[in-house]
Amino acid sequence: MGAGLVAGVDIGATYTRVVLADEKGRILDRAKFETPRSSREAVPASIASAIRMLLKRVGGSERDLRGIGVGSIGPLDVKRGVIVKAANLPLENVPIVEPLESEFGVTTYLVNDCVAAVIGEKHMGAGCDHDNLVYITISTGIGGGVYVDGRVLLGKDGNAHEIGHMVVDAEGKLVCGCGRRGHWEAYSSGTGIPKLAKLLAEENPGLFERSVLASKGDPLRLTSKDVYDAAKAGDAFARAVVEEAARYNAMGVANVVNVYDPSLITVGGSVALNNVELVVEPLKKMVHEYAVNRVPEITVTPLGDDVGLYGAIALALGLEELPIKRSR
């Protein structure tokens, strides 16, 4: 195995995934483990041991490693290469870049997970021919990554495009995980759907009582999968929730269209990828009601769940010049 391997990493609140790829960006092997919660040092240490294990498994050695790319839950401080405070992870100021660079002696890049995803889309997915591109994830939360005029946007600390926290409901009927009211993510993300179901059940108790979902009692005990599965089976209450969620998604996506004027929007994340007909298709129809800019092509990412890992690989291969340089 010659020198020319890179590592791509995706740090999530629950799981961390690590892949090794060749110089063409092809994934050779992968590992997945629970993101350590014991100490901040355990996070980079677990990534380093996964990289070493994968190098051995593909018949390579540390000398073959050219670079490391990391996409992570945030917020981040990209200049310091640190996860400042990860939502749903009881750790603060988790150092990522410095420990991995001193461990392997190769350049390591850290970006927000959705920024990694849009970089993956641009270099290895549907975005190759687009200079103005947005990736949106609809998953546990909602987030985005953006290219404008061929440049990936990061913001001052690398936390631009917290699009899930855009206000889509001036009445603020639902409270977001961040504590603020009316945010997009509170209505139609994986964690938002049960809250929206509860809201609709209170507004229309008769419809809820006739629903298969009523057997769970409190709608907050439902998962988004419960609601989408019931909607697919034709349940009237579940369909009402799903349609209302699609309307909030259309508002959020229209805001993105109006702000960034992209020529392509790709959508990923488990809620969207598992329910394309009920999530992506309706929002494509309704986005016209809220967009003032010309509505671009909106499509599911062809890279699926690996879109962020491909972005991490693209960074590790040096395919993208980031606008924020790490301060050393």
Cα separation, 235 vs 131, whole angstroms: 42
In angstroms, the CA 312 to CA 73 distance is: 13
Is residue 147 within 8 Å of residue 114, measured between CB atoms? no
DSSP-assigned letters across all residues of 291-321: --SPP-EEEE-TTGGGHHHHHHHHHHTT---
SS3 assignment, position 152:
strand
Q: Does 178 bind Zn ion (CB under 5 A)?
A: yes
Q: Number of residues in contact with Zn ion, rule: CB under 5 A?
A: 5
- What residue number has its CB nearest to Zn ion? 176
Looking at the Cβ atoms of 100 and 256, the one nearer to Zn ion is: 256
- Which one, 162 or 306, has the nearer CB to Zn ion? 162
CB of 71 to Zn ion, least distance (A): 20
156-175: contacts with Zn ion (CB under 5 A): 165
Q: Least distance (Å) from Zn ion to the CB of residue 253? A: 17
**Which of 3, 175 has the CB closer to Zn ion?**
175
Q: What is the x/- site pattern for Zn ion, positions 186-225, by CB under 5 A?
A: ----------------------------------------
Binding letters toward Zn ion, positions 227-266, x by CB under 5 A: ----------------------------------------
Element (H, E) at 264: strand 264-268
Task: Find the binder of Zn ion among 80, 122, 183, 198 (CB under 5 A).
Answer: 183
The total of other beta-carbon atoms located within 10 Å of residue 68's CB is 28
Nearer to Zn ion, 26 or 180 (CB): 180
Residue owning tokens 């687009």: 130
3-state secondary structure of 259: helix
Residue 21 CA, distance from chain mean position: 21
Judged by beta carbon, residue 165 or residue 195, the one nearer Zn ion is: 165
Exposed, middle or buried: residue 216 (CB in 10 Å: 0-12, 13-18, 19+)? middle
CA distance 308 to 119: 8
Instruction: State in angstroms the smallest separation of the CB of 75 from Zn ion.
Output: 12
Lookup: tokens for 56: 């051995």
Closer by beta carbon to Zn ion, 70 or else 168: 168
* Binding string, residues 91-110; x marks residues near Zn ion by CB under 5 A: --------------------
Residues binding Zn ion (CB under 5 A): 165, 176, 178, 180, 183
